[in-house]
Amino acid sequence: MLQVQNVGKVYEVPVRESGLKGAISSFIKREKKEVSAVKDLSFDIQRGEMVGFIGPNGAGKSTTLKMLSGILHPSHGEVKVLGYKPHQRQHDYLKKIALIRGSKPLFAPADLTALDALHMQRIIYDIDYREFTRDLYKIVDWLQIEPYYKKPLRTLSLGERMRCGLACSLVYNPEVLFLDEPTIGLDSNAQQRIRHFLKEYNRETNATILLTSHYMEDVTQLCKRMLVIDKGRLLFDGGIAHLVARLTPYKFIVFSLNQSSVLPVDLSQMIVERKDGKYTMRVSNQHVPSVTARLLADYSILDLTVEHPPFEHTIQQLYANEVV
């Protein structure tokens, strides 16, 4: 479905010295430097996969999505989606993909209603009216937008606009979705609705989805596979569980003790935090069963849980170590 082979994108950026002298010099002779946004990026995505694509700001995520959707032409390398070269922007190709940006989910005039915007998409993409009507009610039901889809777009909240934007992008049944921060700025309830919808849409339609997000829950809840990019280079391509096991070979045991209980030195040395009567102990994966059993057998434990390290911590380690 998606093939990216040794792709790079280089921008020419104007540079000048500060102050009046620099401004005059730049006016007479403009100097430029080359900045690589993406460097020799390669990966394949199969039909029906939902893949997380993450990285810090400026890593090259949005540039990559723009090359995949045909907005940008790669400086070198080859990109193919559904057998098409995206930068050629063939009509048949554009009818099979959708690029949805959380920062601007809707491109329709603000005075239109959501229903008007959906009908505008029908006209633009030349969708059969019966087919459109059949799919419309299904999408409206999935996204739960019927209560406000007859209101002007300018009156909708960000979460409502995001769901309407998804509806507008899906009425023509694209085979590939490029999602750029689809839950940005949304409250937790709205984020959860979007995640639930994307999971159901992927299951029902077998659409291929490439998702970028700064919210790790988007990726961990929706994707089994993850691409991690930093400074334009691919650092990791694989399963989330494999990445966690590789970079965080430990777990946290969180427990509360009876006030009269005192831990021996060997266990106390594992404690990394004491807060509100709770202890947090960092224990290697292979020792978690034995330490847990010892705590429960030898001490007066009020409650105990075993937790994975925060996924954000795993990603930070990946950036720091630059594991490929």
At 64 the pLDDT is: 93
Count: domains in the chain: 2
| pLDDT for residue 321 | 67
CATH number of the domain to which 281 belongs: 3.30.70
Round to whole Å and give the CA distance between 147 and 272. Answer: 49
pLDDT band at 18 (very low <50, low <70, confident <90, very high): confident
pLDDT reading at 110 higher than 70: yes
Full domain range(s) for residue 290: 249-307
| Domain annotation covers residue 1 | no
Per-residue model confidence (pLDDT) at position 193: 84
Mean pLDDT of 96-123: 83
Strands, E assignment, the chain:
2-15, 31-45, 50-54, 76-81, 97-101, 176-180, 208-212, 225-230, 233-239, 250-257, 271-275, 278-284, 301-307
Reply yes or no on whether the pLDDT at 7 is more than 60. yes
3-class DSSP state for residue 316?
helix
**234 shares a domain with 138:** yes
Between CA 210 and CA 37 the distance in angstroms is 19
Say if residue 52 is in the same domain as residue 169: yes
Residue 7 within a domain: no
Instruction: Give me the mean pLDDT over the 22-37 stretch.
Output: 76
Local structure of 47: helix, strand or coil: coil
Same-domain check for residues 194 and 99: yes
**Is 322 inside a domain boundary?**
no
pLDDT at 134 over 60: yes
Look at residue 80 and give its three-state secondary structure: strand
86-95, 132-141, 303-312: range with highest mean pLDDT: 86-95
Query: Is residue 324 over pLDDT 60?
Result: no
When pLDDT is cut at 50, 70 and 90, the band that residue 85 belongs to is very high
Looking at residue 322, its pLDDT comes to 56
Question: Could you report the per-residue pLDDT of 209-238, keeping only the tens digit for each?
Answer: 999 988 888 888 899 899 988 888 898 898
Q: Name the most confidently modeled range: 23-37, 133-147, 186-200, 278-292.
A: 278-292
Degrees, nearest 5: CA angle 201-204-206: 85
Percent of the chain with pLDDT over 70: 97
The pLDDT score that the predictor gives to residue 8 is: 92
What's the chain's average pLDDT? 85
The residue type found at 153 is L
CA pair distance 263, 309, nearest whole angstrom = 23
Q: How confident is the model at residue 169 (pLDDT cuts 50, 70, 90)?
A: confident
Domain boundary among 220, 244, 268: 244
Residue 317 falls inside a structural domain: no
Mean pLDDT, rounded, for 247-257: 86
Q: pLDDT over 90 for what percent of the chain?
A: 25
Q: Is the pLDDT of residue 178 over 90?
A: yes
